[in-house]
Chains A and B, each alone.
Chain A
Amino acid sequence: AQTVTQSQPEMSVQEAETVTLSCTYDTSENNYYLFWYKQPPSRQMILVIRQEAYKQQNATENRFSVNFQKAAKSFSLKISDSQLGDTAMYFCAFMVRADKIIFGKGTRLHILP
C-alpha cells in the first residue's frame, strides 16, 4: 500500500526566509504523480505544485520549488522569500492511478512577521 509521510507537524519561520517542508512516500510503482497542496485558514485546498515521476527536472512555480529524489522516494517543498500569506497547512500527496490521491497528515507552517 502506498503511504505518504510528512515528518514535520508544525514549523515556524520569519518572513522573507526560506523554508523546506519534508515529504517521503512509499510505493512500488514507477509512474506516478506528486503534489503539494496548501490549505490556508479559509480551508480552501489550493494546488501549489505538481511533479510527474518520469520527469527528472524538479518542478518550479515562482517562489515554490521541489526537490524530487525518486530513488530516495523524497519530495520536499522549498518556499523562498516566504510571505505572511504562505501561512497555511501544507499537504503532500501522491497518486498512481488517475483517480485516487493519497494525502500526508500535513505540516502547519507559520510565517512570522
Chain B
Amino acid sequence: DAGVIQSPRHEVTEMGQEVTLRCKPISGHNSLFWYRQTMMRGLELLIYFNNNVPIDDSGMPEDRFSAKMPNASFSTLKIQPSEPRDSAVYFCASSDVQGRQETQYFGPGTRLLVL
C-alpha cells in the first residue's frame, strides 16, 4: 500500500498567489482529513470528509481556504489569496471509518512558505 500521498512536498509562493495542495487517500478509506501544523498553534484540524462529503469545516480559518473532494481518491485544499501567516505544514490523513479501522494515517505533509 502506498499510503497517503500528498503533493507538492514543498511549496514556496508569494503573497497573493493561489496555492493548491493535493491529497490521495489510502485506497478503500472513506474519511479524509486536512490538518495544519505550526509552531504557535500545533496541529489543527481544518476540515474532514466522509464518503466525499464535507462533514465539519469549522476549522477552516477563513474564506480564503477551500477544500474539495470530487471523488474517493482525490482531494484538494486551496488557499486564495495566500498570506505569509498561512506558512505551515499541511497534512492530509485518511481512515476507514465504516470498516471500524478508526486509525488515521497521515501523508508526508506539504511544507508551505508564503513570502
Chain A interface residues toward B at CB < 8 A? 33, 35, 37, 42-47, 50, 91, 95, 98-101, 103, 105-106
Contact = CB atoms under 8 A, between A and B. Distances in A.
B45 A100 contact: yes
Interface string B27-67: 00001010001000011010010100001100000000000
The 10 closest A-B pairs by CB, nearest first: A45-B106, A98-B97, A103-B43, A98-B102, A33-B102, A43-B109, A44-B108, A105-B42, A43-B89, A50-B103
Contacts of B103: 33, 35, 47, 50
A100 B43 contact: no
Contacts, number: 46
Given A91-B43, A100-B56, A103-B42, A44 B109 contact: yes
Given A43-B109, A100-B56, A95 B102 contact: yes
Interface in B55-94: 55-56, 89, 91, 93
A101 B95 CA distance: 11
A64 B100 CA distance: 23
Where chain B touches its partner, the secondary structure class is strand
A61 to B, nearest CB: 12
Nearest to B106: A45
A91 B42 CA distance: 10
Contact of B95 (A91, A98, A105): A98
B108 A43 contact: yes
Given A45-B93, A98-B31, A105-B42, 19 more contacts: A35-B103, A42-B108, A43-B89, A43-B108, A43-B109, A43-B111, A44-B108, A45-B109, A46-B106, A47-B105, A50-B103, A91-B43, A98-B97, A99-B31, A99-B48, A99-B50, A99-B95, A101-B45, A101-B104
